[in-house]
Amino acid sequence: DIQMTQFPSSLSASVGDTVTITCRASQGISNYLAWFQQKPGKAPRSLIYAASSLQSGVPSKFSGSGSGTDFTLTINSLQPEDFATYYCQQYHSYPRTFGQGTNLEIK
């Protein structure tokens, strides 16, 4: 299985800040990388696929980059609704695997 490692595991930031979350794959996955946002008690929401393509309806404040083994999710101008847990997922091969999550908290 491909192991996905996210860092940091938790992050404190203020409204208006820009933050970056990193995801590393245990082997090369080209750009077969997705990002999800999850709020407490809710199902995850798909934000980005193919490392940098936004899902329909996702605001442009979210951006992704990377290829191979190293990927980033950047969120610009944080608003209160952006504070949540973020997961990466590889879909290069089965089984699909997720990172352990990054909990973005309000400072």
Partner 1 sequence: QLQLRESGPGLVKPSETLSLTCTVSGGSISSSDYYWALIRQPPGKGLEWIGAIYYSGSTYYNPSLKSRVTISVDTSKNQFSLKLNSVTAADTAVYYCARDFVVPDLWGQGTLVTVSS
Binding site for partner 1 (CB under 8 A): 1, 34, 36, 42-46, 49-50, 55, 87, 89, 91, 94-101
Query: Cβ closer to partner 1: 78 or 90?
Result: 90
Q: How far is the CB of 14 from partner 1 (least distance, A)?
A: 25
56-93: b or e for each residue (b if 16 or more CB lie within 10 Å)?
Answer: eebeeebbbebeebebbbebeebeeebbbbbbbbbeee
Query: Cβ closer to partner 1: 16 or 40?
Result: 40
